[in-house]
Structure formats: C-alpha cells, structure tokens
C-alpha cells in the first residue's frame, strides 16, 4: 500500500467542480445585471428623446400663441392669425393629424411639429386660476392651456402641460 505524502499539492476533482459552478453562477448573475443596465440605458435614451421633442413642440406653441388672434378653435386644433416679421397677417392652423402634430402657415403645407403624439388638447380658460376650462375659444377666454401627451419607449406616455396668455387679448 502506498502512503500519501502530506506535502502533495493540487486540487481534488470536487474542489474544481465547485469552483467552476461558483464561477458559472457569478458569470450568469453579472450577465443578467449587464443586460438590465443596457436596457435601462436604452429606455432612458429613448424617453429623453421623447421629452426633448415635447419640450420643443410646447415651446414653439407657447411662442406662437403669445401674440395671436384666434379665428376658430376646438379641443384638438386651433386656427389663428399673427403677424410676421414684415407685419403681414399670417393664418396658422395647428391640428392633430393621426399621431403627428401639424402646423400649417398660410396654406403652405402641413409641417410636422412633432410625432408620436398620443393626445393633444387645447382648453381655453377665463382666468389663470380656472380649474375647469372649455374646449372652445370664447370672447372671455384669456389663457390657452396646451396638453401634449407623447408615446415614448415601451409605449410609455408622458404628458406635458403649459398655459399661455396671449398678449393682444
């Protein structure tokens, strides 16, 4: 019978298998974590793009609505006149067409203000403190409330609201 020496070096088969199993579990967990981080990054990037589009559209509408004379209105569109840089009157129509918010100046064609629109509503308030505002313009209206809802990543909707008080009323 052979005697074992206590100074032999090496690993037993069980130690090698346990080590490989632990490394495999650690690699699987790290891979799942990495995938969730990448998915979160992509989701955030796409929704940041949605927020930027909404902010640009709301800012453009707020600037447009700051000096207008309303011709006709509804809950999803408005027709108004404003003056251009040469002080000529310009007729503008803002409306929701499908999932795109369009702006049409002097019948020059529909220019897309933003896409991926889930909902667009306009309400017309008599005072800044109004909580219930009608969806049509009246002679007592002083404030236009813009509500824009866009669809972002994974069908997440983001709603943006801004009130504008036209100067020439």
**b/e for 39-71, b at 16 or more Cβ within 10 A?**
eeeeeeeebeebeebbeebbeebeebbeebebe
pLDDT tens for 90-131 read: 899 999 999 999 998 877 777 899 999 999 999 999 888 888
Q: pLDDT digits over 11-64, tens only?
A: 899 999 999 999 999 999 999 999 999 999 998 888 898 999 999 999 999 998
Domain regions of the chain by residue span: 31-164
DSSP annotation of 135 reads S
């Amino acid at each position: 019978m052979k005697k074992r020496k206590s100074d032999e070096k090496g690993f037993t088969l069980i130690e090698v298998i346990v080590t490989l199993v632990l490394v495999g579990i650690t690699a699987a967990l790290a891979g799942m974590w990495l995938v969730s981080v990448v998915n979160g990054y992509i989701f955030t990037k796409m929704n940041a793009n949605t927020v930027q589009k909404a902010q640009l559209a709301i800012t453009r509408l707020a600037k447009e609505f700051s000096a207008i004379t309303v011709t006709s209105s509804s809950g999803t569109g408005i027709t108004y006149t404003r003056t251009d840089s040469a002080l000529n009157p310009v007729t503008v129509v803002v409306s929701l067409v499908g999932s795109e918010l369009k702006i049409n100046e002097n019948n020059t064609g529909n220019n897309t203000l933003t896409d991926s629109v889930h909902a667009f509503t306009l309400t017309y308030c008599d005072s800044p403190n109004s909580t219930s505002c009608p969806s049509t313009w009246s002679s007592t209206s002083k404030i236009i409330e813009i509500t824009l809802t866009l669809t972002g990543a994974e069908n997440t909707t983001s709603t943006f609201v801004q009130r504008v008080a036209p100067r020439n009323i």
